[in-house]
Structure 1
Amino acid sequence: MILGTQYYRPPNPRREDWERDLDMIRAHGIELIRTWMYWSRVNPREGVWTWEEYDHLLNLAAERGLKVLIQLMCDAPPYWFEQKHPETRYLDVNGQPVAFSAKSSQAVGGAPGPCFHHPTARTAAEEFMRRTAKRYLDAPALHAYDLWNEIWMHECFCEFTQAQFRQFLSQKYGDIKNLNTAWQRSYASFEEVRLPREGVYADMIDRYEFEQWSKRELMRWRYQTVRAVDRKHLLVSHYGGHCSLFSPGDDPWLFAEPIDGWGTSSYDTTLPQAALTFHATACASRGKPWWLSEQTGGRTWSHVGDRLCSDAFLRSFHVLAMSYGAEVSIYWQWRPEIFGQESPHFGLTSLSGEPTSRTEMLRQFAGMLQRHKGLFTAMQFSRPQVGILWEPRAIAYEHINQSPERYFRDNFVGWYRAVLRSNVSLEIFNSRIVAEEGIPDYVRLLIAPMQIFDRKGLTPKLEAWVKAGGVLVAGPWYGMYDEYTYANPQVPPTDLFGIRQGELYYLDNPRVELIQSPGPAPWVVSHPTGLTLGFLPGQKFIESLLVEDAEIMGVVDENIVMTSRTVGKGKGLYVGTFLGNVYDHSLSPQLGGFVKWLCEGSGVQAEVGATEGCLIRTAMSQGSRIVFLTNPSENSVTTWLTFAKDEGGKLVDLLTGEVVAEIRKGKPVPVSIEAEDSRVFKVG
């Protein structure tokens, strides 16, 4: 993994500090710097192009053996362009142009930039991208371009965006009659359709899927523009700030399609949040390189700040990113910001550029990467046997309802965290892709906690996978809506589960009593208070299920809410309430025990286990097992690691070189770990 840092987003740092800083950066083991190349900075007047400051920075980097990632900032156009072409500005829902201005993350102005559906804006931005690519084509320090920072895009209702929306609808529906049927409208042609600001599920979900499609096509445009000039450097991009799964206009699998590598910023405040952010990015990359493109170097955010991240917390970001296969990890930034609302925060160093405990932590971590470079380069991760299904339409559905509660999102997150804490390998699947390609046969257990839309082709793919031996856990509201957002007359719309939805009952805290299982009941969890828990807590409502051909597993009073049915070689389990929403490893752990039972019944075992809620990821390299251990809690713990019976050898801390334990025939070994810290071990 390459370690990097943001360096030079004008005006920070000051030019007189560059040589000293770059020397320190290299001395601390950092190999890459990222610089923001603003269109307005290199093209301040029409027909005038000035590159001297960037030339100088790349030359200084080359002298020190540093790689450079250029952040292409098409979204920061010069003001002469706004004055000459005001028609290219975004138009808000009232038809008013959005003027260029400065913002905290773009203090030089020009935000939010022009609408790149407008051909004049595209032509001008293409000149900026091509000139940049041509100038630095043979620059020794250049490593890659980041084409689009955090997928910044303002909503726009201009005629060019409207035309793109109509093109999208025409491709999806083919004929205006089909659109009228889906939307319950009476358009004479697609020319009458306008991009909706508000609406019902049908038109608003199309609006959000258009945004996803549009961003992919704009990504493709940026990629093709630079690639036409530069055929040898990586062209990447990254998402912004938090997990990419929870905004209605975003599908990261689409955004990653046209480019060489995908990444994410992460300013998550807990390590489980960061794990989901990294994992989603890795899965959306679909085998392409993925980068941790931004993470704080210390304090966040504006004003007087709100938090100083500990050295251990920052180290854990590196370890978690490595454990999901990240190839690059970049800090925001080397020095604290000096201008605008983000000042004086985020830096690894002090304001004067002096080292801190954070830079020392980084130096030590870089040393570990260098000492064991061959070992980390050769890492191979096992195929995940557990999957969780993500439905982007469910995210749009909850956004359209404008309710502060996000029941299906939270159900997804809770199930994800319960599987994460079980230490088994997991993959996030996009239901849009599963409807086309199905579930891989190496997956044995699939959880579908938010699949309220019965996408065309999805249910047959899942049925075939279950019949071949898979275990599917779905609900609540599986397939409530059809492909065009109409409520199905039968829920779930399949015989897979052997049940039908009866009445919905709204309860504050439903408790699902588990009354039957095919074997030992590991969901009977020992709580810290000593109580034995024989139930699973739910939230909001229960579906009272009508059983046709299924075994009853769980009830609430007289209502059946959980069932199981054998189908071919596999099983279909249905859960009629939100089990994930109330999951908490310490306070409400029952779902974690249920997940362990599901894994055992599906033939899935963790390669390495850990107690105390610690997170484990493993890889194989050069005949040895690499173990990534993270303590997400705010307290130091001693966790017991468990291994397979045939596994043995020394457990070596790769950061310190210390032999922590001797593993014999898989017997558990205790390992201490500080609050929000991570350790990397080799077994062998």
Structure 2
Amino acid sequence: MLYGAQYYRPPFPGRACWRRDLAHMKELGFNCVKHWAVWNWIEREPGCFDFSELDELVALSREYGLQVVINTVPEGAPYWTYEGNEEDLYRTADGQRVAYGGPANLPSGGWPGLCMDKPEFAALVAAFIEETARHFADEPAVIAIDVWNEPHLEPMYDYRSNMLCYCRHSRAAFRAWLKGKYPSLDALNRAWYRTYSSWEQVEPPPRFGTWADMLDWRRFWLDNLAGWLKLRAGAARRGAPGKVVQTHVAYSGILGNRIVGGLGNELGDEFLLAREVDWFGLSSFPKWLMGPDHAYRHLIHNEMVAEAAHGKLFYQVELQGGAGKPGLLGGEVPDAGDVKIWNWNTISAGGKGTVYWQYAPEPAGVESPGFGLTGFAGEDTPRSLAASECAGRLNLPELDAAVRVPAENAVYASRSSDLLTFASERREEMYAGSLSGVFRAAYERGIPVRFLHEDYIGELAEATVRFLYLPLPLVLSERETEHLVRFVERGGTLVSEACPGLYRPDGLLDQEGTALGRLFGLGHREIQGLPDWGMVTACCEDGTVFAGKWYRQLVNPGQDVRVLARFEDGEAAVTERLLGKGRAVWIGTYPSYYHEHGFELDGGGKRDGTRDLLTRFMSLGGYGIIEKVEVPECESSGISLAPVVRLHRLEGEYLLTVVNHLEREARVKVWFREEQAFAGGPGKCLELTVPARDGTCARWSSSRR
């Protein structure tokens, strides 16, 4: 397990504090520290590298038994790279050049550097990373080189209403990418509905309009950033072949901090990026960036990024240690309960530790006086003491060795559907909110659930998923449809919202309704927008009333289709089709967005009815060995809080984690299908009492004695 804090970001903290602070980290029970290697601070003249400050810090860290992660930051570029290269700055869609400056997180300036699509600049970045890695290659205290601090298209955080990058090098790289995708210019013309006569005429879309070119532009950038990461990782491996290479994302790009998306805008795709490194991590500033709902939102980000890591070591590389920075003097300060919940959220998702951002308060710039885990003089605070408690309680061999067991219930995450909502004039919040909504319905009921990404749809054949929900599934390829058909035929339960596969991956309408017909036995009639983009209600056979958002889809059910619910005008609202050993359920609207608005009309219980529908077909236990989980009813005061149950596996043993987000003590019962060899004797029920805003775990043999 890795427990510690980010410490040095030049020029802060000053040298006078180093020994005191690193010694105290050891006293807190930390075993890890992260230091930034900022390019312009180290290579002030071309080819002249000065690592003296980092050398001193690493030596002190080693003295106090702290493992070191060196975070390379070429986004703080030397100013000698700027002179004469103004044409190679990042450029927005409207032609604005992004000049070097000092952003909130880089006191030494040089941000954001030149666009990495300029080959000569990319080579300089790689050389800096390689030299840094080589310098620490034989240093035993340095365990990892983090090659990209929160990979995304760097200026986008400050230019969110615009698009990047339209410099000459990115435009050329885009054309090269298109030539790799399309066998000829004629093929591109057919795909984009254009009449280009030469490749030189092809330009990226400067505005929203047709979808085909925008989808390619966004997919290019996702691939492009993964390529930049691969270049950085390769440089680190050349410099230090024996060191771990890692990166960490600012948040799940699919979800966005406040569940408004970010894949098409900031372009950090965790599922592409995680492939290029050995370890993968997450930054989280829950009380600053995730709002009052931060306990749940932090959990879902951990769950998504853990899925992206796909078995690689995953941990919380940055976690809010002090007040965030909306406003002049900062925002809300995390309390001890926040620290405990956030740590347990990561552990429950299979994470292997927490590194705080950051140990000391930031003394200068926009981030001052925020983020410090400790006080101004290095003194302890309630949150540093809580962090110390978590390090002591959670840095255990069994938690380190435990491997998360994939839940049987899964929510499908589609890059293609997400990008389509972005191409439709930045509507990613619709997709992110839908993903979160069905996940939240399970969370509120205490039902274990996971994500399954389109990149790994082939894993449906492994039979670890028994239930799969498709939120806002506007795009389904032929390959995806085939996998989903086989999943149902083998006995799986598939539940889809309206318009599954309405569009092909290239953004063209599928007028044959392939997925709708093959999976659900339905024929498309019409899509109806709801007044003021509001909601529609429907009634199930058992009298349950649920609500959906934005649209409803009208269909013609086939002869082998059963109608389970109807809209108020009698049109089919939910249908079921038996296919092989399984069933395919279609919902004719978008109920998973319910959590954003409650869907409560005149006390009519629409929220509960919608949540019932979303979880109706799920496995209540979430895992093959668990029959059901009983948790207290979730608390709701504008937001919903509930306990979280997750199962992990050790060699010959199981480990269960329970995170209690409630403001009160929670009693959780887990019922097993067969007797388990618990420490207190065999039984079918495990009962745990979890303190308010805290977590616990239980461990037992995986076979009866």
Mark the CA change 1:240 to 1:600 in structure 2 (over 3 Å): closer, same or farther: closer
Q: 1:406/1:157 Cα in 2 relative to 1: closer, same or farther (>3 Å)?
A: same
Match of residue 273 from structure 1:
297
Residues 24-33 or 86-95, more deviating: 86-95
1:144 to partner: Cα distance: 0.3
Residue identity matched to 2:16: E
Deviation at 1:637, TM superposition (A): 4.3
Q: Deviations over 1:387-422 (max 9, x none)?
A: 211112322222233366833332221011123344
**Distance in 2 (alpha carbons) for counterparts of 1:143 and 1:672:** 35
SS in 2 for 1:102: coil
Equivalent residues in 2 for 1:4-19 (5 A)? 4-19=4-19
TM-score w.r.t. length of structure 2: 0.87
Preserved contact between residue 39 and residue 76 of structure 1 (Cα < 8 Å): yes
Q: Which residue of 1 aligns with 2:432?
A: 409
Q: Distance in 2 between matches of 1:425 and 1:672?
A: 17
Task: Give the structure 2 partner of residue 225 of structure 1.
Answer: 235
Given that 2:467 and 2:619 are in contact with CA atoms closer than 8 Å, whether structure 1 keeps it comes out as no
Could you say if the C-alpha distance between residues 152 and 506 of structure 1 is closer, same or farther in structure 2, counting changes exceeding 3 Å? closer
1:435-454 correspondence runs (5 A):
439-454=461-476
Change (3 A) 1:344 1:159: same
Q: Quote the residue 2:495 is aligned against.
A: 473
103-112 or 357-366: bigger deviation:
357-366
Deviations 1:59-107 (A, max 9, x none): 1111111111111011111112212543432223344432100011112
1 CA distance for matches of 2:623 and 2:455?
27
After superposition, the Cα gap between the structure-2 partners of 1:642 and 1:437, relative to the gap in structure 1 and judged at 3 Å, is closer
How far has the Cα of 1:599 moved from its partner? 2.1
Name whichever of 559-568 and 496-505 sits farther off: 496-505
Query: Structure 2 vs 1, CA of residues 379 and 309 (structure 1 numbering), >3 Å: closer, same or farther?
Result: same
Cα 1:404/1:444, change in 2 over 3 Å: closer
Whether 1:292 aligns to 2:316 is: yes
Deviations 1:461-487 (A, max 9, x none): 111221111111112111111232111
- Is the deviation greater in 285-294 or in 236-245? 236-245
Partner residue in 2 for 1:589:
608
Select 1:320's aligned residue among 325, 328, 345.
345
1:457 partner SS: helix
Distance 1:638 1:52 in 2: 52
Q: What does residue 377 of structure 1 align with?
A: 400
Q: How far does residue 455 in structure 1 lie from its aligned partner after superposition? A: 1.7
RMSD: 2.5
1:387/1:443 contact within 8 Å kept: yes
- Superposed displacement of residue 253, structure 1: 1.2
Shift of 1:365: 1.9
Which runs of 5 or more residues in structure 2 are unaligned? 156-163, 256-260, 634-641
Q: Which range is displaced more, 496-505 or 227-236?
A: 496-505
Residue 551 of structure 1 aligns to a residue whose secondary structure is strand
Inter-CA distance 570–490: structure 2 relative to 1 (3 Å threshold): same
* Correspondence for 1:165 among 166, 174, 193: 174
Count of matched residue positions in the alignment of Structure 1 and Structure 2: 653
CA displacement 1:24-57 (0-9 Å, x = unmatched): 0011111111111100001123343222111100
The whole-number CA distance in structure 2 between the counterparts of 1:668 and 1:116 is 54
Hey, what's the Cα distance between the residues in 2 that align with 1:251 and 1:397? 15
Task: Give the CA deviation at 1:6.
Answer: 0.3
Matches of 2:337 and 2:696, distance apart in 1: 10
The answer as to 2:193 corresponding to 1:181 is no
Q: How far is the alpha carbon of 1:202 from its aligned partner?
A: 0.7
1:193-250 Cα deviation digits (max 9, x unpaired): 1122213211101111001000111111111112112110100101114554432134
Contact 2:490 2:580 in 1 (8 A): yes
Q: Deviations over 1:589-644 (max 9, x none)?
A: 334433443124999655644233321112244655433222334x3243342332
Give, in angstroms, the shift of residue 437 of structure 1.
Answer: 6.4
State the shift of 1:667 in Å. Answer: 5.0
- On the 8 A contact 2:549/2:591 being kept in 1, the answer is yes
8 Å CA contact 1:476, 1:576 repeated in 2: yes
Match of 1:352 in 2: 377
Of 156-165 and 86-95, the range deviating more from structure 2 = 86-95
Please tell me whether the aligned partners of residues 334 and 348 of structure 1 are also in contact (alpha carbons under 8 angstroms): yes
Query: Are the structure 2 counterparts of residues 631 and 233 from structure 1 closer, same or farther at C-alpha, using a change threshold of 3 Å?
Result: same
Q: Which moved more, 1:301-310 or 1:135-144?
A: 301-310
Q: Map 1:87-486 onto structure 2 (within 5 A).
A: 87-153=87-153, 154=155, 155-198=164-207, 199-241=209-251, 244-245=254-255, 246-247=261-262, 248=264, 249-268=267-286, 269=290, 270-302=294-326, 303-370=328-395, 373-402=396-425, 406-434=429-457, 439-486=461-508
Q: Deviations over 1:333-387 (max 9, x none)?
A: 11111111111111110011101111221222222235xx232233233232122
State the alpha-carbon separation in 2 of the partners of residues 179 and 14 from structure 1.
56
Residue 233 of structure 1 aligns with an amino acid whose one-letter code is K
* Alignment CA distance shift 1:165-1:280 (3 Å): same
How big is the shift at 1:425? 3.9
Match status 1:72 vs 2:37: no
Task: Give the distance between the partners of 2:516 and 2:185, measured in 1 at CA.
Answer: 28
SS of residue in 2 equivalent to 1:60 = helix
Say which is worse superposed, 106-115 or 559-568, in terms of deviation. Answer: 106-115
Partner residue in 1 for 2:644: 615
Partner AA of 2:671 in structure 1: F
Which one is further off, 75-84 or 17-26? 75-84
Letter in 1 for 2:528: Y
Asked whether the equivalents of residues 499 and 548 of structure 1 are also in contact (C-alpha less than 8 Å), the reply is: yes
Q: Given residue 419 of structure 1, which amino acid in structure 2 is its aligned partner?
A: A
- Which one of the candidate residues 499, 509, 513 is aligned to 1:487? 509
Specify which of 505, 520, 528 is matched with residue 497 of structure 1.
520
Which has the larger displacement, 35-44 or 243-252? 243-252
1:614 partner letter? P
Shift in Å, 1:431: 2.0
Q: Distance in 1 between matches of 2:195 and 2:313?
A: 47
Distance 2:88 2:130 in 1: 20
Distance of 1:183 and 1:31 partners within structure 2: 54
| Aligned residue among 528, 541, 563 for 1:552 | 563
From 645, 667, 674, the counterpart of 1:639: 667
Q: How does 1:641-656 map to 2 (within 5 A)?
A: 641-644=669-672, 646-647=674-675
Choose 223-232 or 40-49, whichever is displaced more: 40-49
Q: Distance in 2 between matches of 1:301 and 1:2?
A: 26
1:663/1:477 CA distance change after superposition, 3 Å: farther
Residue of 511, 514, 521 corresponding to 2:540: 514
Closer/same/farther in 2, CA of residues 152 and 471 from structure 1, 3 Å limit:
closer
Change (3 A) 1:365 1:585: farther
* 1:320 CA displacement: 1.2
Letter in 1 for 2:612: G
CA spacing shift, 1:404–1:212, aligned 2, 3 Å: closer
**By how many angstroms is 1:261 displaced?**
1.7
Q: 8 Å contact 1:451–1:479 — kept in the other structure?
A: yes
In 1, Cα distance between equivalents of 2:296 and 2:416: 24
Question: Contact conserved, 2:485 with 2:518, CA < 8 A, in 1?
Answer: no
CA contact (8 A) 2:325 2:370 kept: yes
Match of 2:589 in 1: 577
Give the Cα separation in 1 of the matches to 2:462 and 2:484.
Answer: 11
Q: Quote the Cα distance in structure 2 between the aligned partners of 1:47 and 1:665.
A: 67
Could you tell me how far 1:140 is from its partner in structure 2?
A: 2.3
Q: Deviation per CA, 1:85-131, whole angstroms, max 9, x where unpaired? A: 43432223344432100011112111111111112212222221122
CA distance in 1, matches of 2:337, 2:652: 29
Summarize deviations over 1:637-681 as a string: whole Å, max 9, x none: 433423326556879xxxxxxxxxx7984457473532x433334
**Matches of 1:649 and 1:444, distance apart in 2:** 26
CA distance in 2, matches of 1:575, 1:432: 24
C-alpha contact 1:137 1:230 (8 A) present in aligned 2: yes
Shift of 1:179: 1.2
